[in-house]
Amino acid sequence: MAPRGAAAPEAPLNPRLPAPLWLVLAALLGLVVGIASQRMGAPRAEPEPTADVATVFDRVRPSVVDVRVPGDREKLGAGVVVGPLEVVTARHLVFDAAGPLEVRAHDGTLQQARVVGTDARSDLALLAIDRPLEPARMGNAGRVRVGDTVLAVGNPFGLSHSLSVGVVGAKDRRLQAGGGPRVGFLQLSIPLNPGNSGGPIFNLEGELVGLLTGTHTEGQGIGFAVPTDVVAEAMPDLRAGRHVSRGFLGIRAEDTERGVEVVSTIPTGPADVAGLQPGDLVTGFDDVDIGRTTDLYDRLDALPGGHRTHMRLLRDGQLQVLEVELSDWASQPVVIAGMTLRPLAGSGGRVVAIRPRSRASRAGVQLDDVVRTVDGLPMYAPADVRTALSTATSGSLGLERQGRALQVPI
């Protein structure tokens, strides 16, 4: 018993547990509370950006040029230097240039440029210049992720070397052009204004990852860019001044639960001649498996016109192999709706013959008309027009007639 007047010993915090254990628990509790207090009291540090946008812009500016296309209707755009004497820009900007183009560097110096080669499918054009400029560093578009920050440098409304910043909203977007989806584009949260076409897209490392194309999206609040891997694939043909040949099969296909199903074939087209039928499931080209329509169009883009390929398909559950000779997507004349179209750069073709009492004749189509669009979709080759009109009973032709644009129901 404690002496009278002495303080009574403190009772344990929990008489059921020994004191040393409670001391350990109290220490742990204090540690947890301290950590929580630090987290609540101190603001969370934001992650450091991988690069300063202004610094990247200063680094890439010397590789960007403004492009001016003289003529009755002057056109403005942008381009990127890919070799000391080479500039890549958008094909639709320069395909109908009547004479030399004008290129303005970031320091204001001017020089003339000429078109060396173009590719309608990817909307690319290669220009040659006489005085060297600083080439951009090529990046790998395959490493670009949805959500990555990118920089666009262009010439919107003639405002030279303007910077826009956005993010990658999607990859491998297939924009319809009548003859099937075009190459897979990067979709960007960057509004594309007149004058931005052909402008480069850079990542935060200052590497070129794409080239803006304005054929579908001017004024729509988003932009699309040709990835650099597509640019690299086209460069040998562009440098040689050759037409970039891409295979044309002549089918309309769609993704189904069973696979890539043939919906229709173009009469006398390569698929029709080889014996392909609606309902067939395409499973492969040679040793390349086909699981989606994007696989199909990627394979066709990789093969030139005239290439013979062994096409694997399922028909009524049975595996079959057909030999198909692809035609050239952009070079063949076609007959559709009673009119004969011959290839003309940057269009669906020029009308060179019209059958009396045909759809085209009744619609008022005339000789030498140039087909620009079908139902608002841009046409880049006669094959586009054939596919678009053969799968619809009616539509609207966007024509150019003696320099005037008009719409004709057909």
Give the CATH architecture of domain 140-239. Beta Barrel (2.40)
User: What's the confidence (pLDDT) of residue 298?
Assistant: 84
Q: Which of 42-51, 176-185, 331-340 is predicted least confidently?
A: 42-51
Q: Which of 218-227, 233-242, 386-395 is predicted least confidently?
A: 386-395
Does 32 have pLDDT greater than 70?
no
Does 371 have pLDDT greater than 60?
yes
User: What's the confidence (pLDDT) of residue 361?
Assistant: 95
Distance CA 61, CA 136 (A): 9
Residue 302: closest CA among 314, 290, 320, 315? 290
pLDDT band, residue 36 (cuts 50/70/90): very low
Mean pLDDT of 102-117: 94
Residue 201: closest CA among 188, 217, 214, 220? 188
User: What's the confidence (pLDDT) of residue 18?
Assistant: 52
Task: Report the length, in residues, of the chain.
Answer: 410
pLDDT band, residue 275 (cuts 50/70/90): very high
User: What's the confidence (pLDDT) of residue 89?
Assistant: 96
User: What's the confidence (pLDDT) of residue 51?
Assistant: 61
CB-based contact 297:320 (threshold 8 Å): no
Average pLDDT in the chain:
82
Q: Which of 39-43, 90-94, 218-222, 326-330 is predicted least confidently?
A: 39-43
Model pLDDT for residues 352-368, shown as the tens digit of each residue = 999 999 999 999 999 99
**Domain 334-409 CATH assignment equals 2.30.42.10:** yes
Does 108 have pLDDT greater than 80?
yes
Structure tokens at 391: 């799968």
- The reply to whether 59-129 and 140-239 are identical in fold is yes
- Any idea which residues carry the catalytic annotation? 92, 123, 197
DSSP H helical ranges for 42-124: 53-60, 91-94
Report domain extents, the chain. Answer: 59-129, 140-239, 247-328, 334-409
pLDDT band, residue 10 (cuts 50/70/90): very low
User: What's the confidence (pLDDT) of residue 43?
Assistant: 44
pTM to 2 decimals?
0.68
User: What's the confidence (pLDDT) of residue 42?
Assistant: 42
User: What's the confidence (pLDDT) of residue 98?
Assistant: 67
Distance CA 394, CA 337 (A): 10
CB-based contact 315:277 (threshold 8 Å): yes
User: What's the confidence (pLDDT) of residue 3?
Assistant: 47
User: What's the confidence (pLDDT) of residue 118?
Assistant: 84
User: What's the confidence (pLDDT) of residue 301?
Assistant: 83
Does 147 have pLDDT greater than 80?
yes
User: What's the confidence (pLDDT) of residue 72?
Assistant: 66
Model pLDDT for residues 184-223, shown as the tens digit of each residue = 889 999 877 778 889 999 999 999 999 998 645 444 678 8
**Domain 247-328 CATH assignment equals 2.30.42.10:** yes
Tell me the range of 19-23, 36-40, 125-129, 192-196 where mean pLDDT is highest: 125-129
Q: Which DSSP symbol is given to 287?
A: T
Give me the phi and psi of 191, to 5 degrees please.
Answer: -60, 135
In percent, the amount of the chain with pLDDT more than 70 equals: 81
Q: Which fold is adopted by the domain 59-129? A: Thrombin, subunit H (2.40.10)
User: What's the confidence (pLDDT) of residue 262?
Assistant: 96
214, with CB counted inside 10 A (0-12, 13-18, 19+), is: buried
Distance CA 210, CA 168 (A): 11
